[in-house]
Structure 1
Amino acid sequence: MPAWADIALQVLVTAVTVILVLAGFWRFVARPHLDRKVAELIEATQDIEPKVTRGVKKGVSEVIRDLPESALDGTVRESTRQFLKFGSGLFENGLSSFLGTASDLERESAQDREKPKPDTPSTR
């Protein structure tokens, strides 16, 4: 057998051996381990949602129980209005920091109207 054929045969046998070892490791070691871990994660996530729901319900019921009776006669509505005003103020102030206030815009437009146009140099 020529030397090049012997080398090619050795490369082929080595490649097949490496592929078989990797496939066996994946099939018999890595895949079962990953399947177990995924099953554990799925089981853990199925437990989370009911616990969160129970915790939220418990928290809401405690807050409602702790509310004074005066909060149920319209005070809640008034505080909601104040909260909405506060939120709209924040929103408007946030925009005005980028755009400027109405008085800033008026001042800028007045200054633009008062400025004389620069003379363009004439070509002689």
Structure 2
Amino acid sequence: MTNTVGPTSQPRVLRVLVVDDAPDIRALIRAMLSDNEGVEVVEASGGEEALAVVAADPPDLAVVDQNMPGMDGVTTTRELKALNADVEVVAFTAVPGAERQFAQAGATRHFLKDRFGDLVGFISERAASGR
């Protein structure tokens, strides 16, 4: 007889790092995802802080702004991927046109800031799929 009882596994929570120098943008993303128990949001106000977060406790997904003081979003993406290739990075920018640079740096998607719903939907789908 085979024992089919195994350890009980908790539902996987998608850990999302939001990297943006604008506190209101970070707060809005956090608020829009607050009802989703499958998502944990952590924040960084810039690229250097994001690298420290990833080094200490890597997220599953990083949402990265382009225009930030210090390290820009494309450089942040490149550095995050070099530090931990398993972290999926998506760009979240106010101005179109950086898609190619972000893709070359390792980002898988690009969302415009006037389309918050698209980003939140993408994150929610990732959480639901267990990725």
Report the TM range for the smaller structure's normalisation. under 0.3
Q: Answer with 1 or 2: which has the greater Rg.
A: 1
**Higher fraction of helix:** 1
More strand by share: 2
TM-score (norm. length: structure 2)? 0.14
Larger relative contact order (Cα-Cα within 8 Å, sequence gap ≥ 6): 2
- Alignment TM-score, normalising by the size of structure 1: 0.15
